């Protein structure tokens, strides 16, 4: 993750149609870079990104954010979540195909994400490890074995929010608290030149 507020992605298809490259407009705000589960190359070559290329893409995203003056302290990478193979296989069979992802492979990509974060000096949220901690059943965190369920989104938020909060808690308020806005003439409170 890089962090999200007023940074809006502009996406363009890369040559060869393999990757979608998102370029974030320069902004000091947070920007989210999604991280999906890797596909095995022989099952779906259109979606497969080799491990080395995946790591290079993450590095490139971090370097781009730094080049537009987003400090590494405002960048958080997130590993892909684990894959529940049994649930995902059912989903694949319903679509007429066989299992096309393995949790052990997802773990390799999670490790690569961790290494990129270490190399780049950024924080990382290791979702892959956290969801499987102490052998817990992580299937309720996934709606179909692959994508986060509402409970999975809550899990992600509960672990991501502390990382975000420590970055934003010291930022000054840009606008007054709603109770401090003059009801009759709010522009005076919002733009200055007046008492509340």
In a domain, 65, yes or no: yes
Closest CA to 7 of 70, 56, 67: 70
In a domain, 3, yes or no: no
In a domain, 4, yes or no: no
DSSP assignment of 111-124: HHHHHHHHHHT-EE
For residue 55, give the 3-state DSSP assignment: helix
- How is residue 56 written in tokens? 């290079």
Pairing label, strands 20-24, 9-13: antiparallel
Number of H helices, E strands in the chain: 6, 4
**Is pLDDT larger for residue 123 or for residue 183?**
123
- What's the CATH code of the domain at 97? 3.40.50.1110
Q: Convert the pLDDT of each residue in 103-142 to its tens digit.
A: 999 999 999 999 999 999 999 999 999 999 999 999 999 9
What domain count does the chain have?
Answer: 1
Q: Convert the pLDDT of each residue in 45-99 to its tens digit.
A: 777 889 999 999 999 999 999 999 988 888 999 999 999 999 999 999 999 999 9
- Domain residues for the domain of 87 are 9-191
- What predicted TM-score, i.e. pTM, was given to this entire model? 0.74
């Amino acid at each position: 993750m890089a962090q999200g507020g007023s940074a809006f992605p502009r996406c363009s298809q890369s040559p060869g149609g393999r990757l979608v490259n998102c370029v974030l407009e320069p902004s000091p705000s947070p920007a989210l870079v999604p991280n999906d589960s890797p596909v095995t190359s022989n099952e779906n070559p259109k979606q497969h990104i080799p491990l080395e290329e995946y790591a290079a893409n993450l590095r490139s995203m971090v370097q781009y954010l730094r080049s537009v003056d987003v400090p590494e302290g405002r960048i958080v990478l997130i590993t892909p979540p684990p894959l529940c193979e049994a649930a995902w296989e059912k989903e694949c069979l319903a679509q007429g195909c066989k299992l096309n992802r393995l949790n052990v492979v997802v773990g390799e990509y999670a490790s690569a994400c961790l290494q990129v974060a270490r190399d780049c000096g950024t924080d990382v949220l290791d979702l892959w490890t956290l969801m499987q901690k102490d052998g817990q059943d992580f299937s309720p965190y996934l709606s179909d074995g692959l994508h986060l369920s509402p409970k999975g989104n809550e899990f992600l938020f509960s672990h991501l929010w502390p990382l975000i909060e420590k970055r934003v808690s010291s930022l000054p308020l840009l606008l007054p608290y709603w109770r401090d806005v003059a009801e009759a003439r709010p522009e005076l409170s919002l733009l200055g030149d007046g008492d509340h």
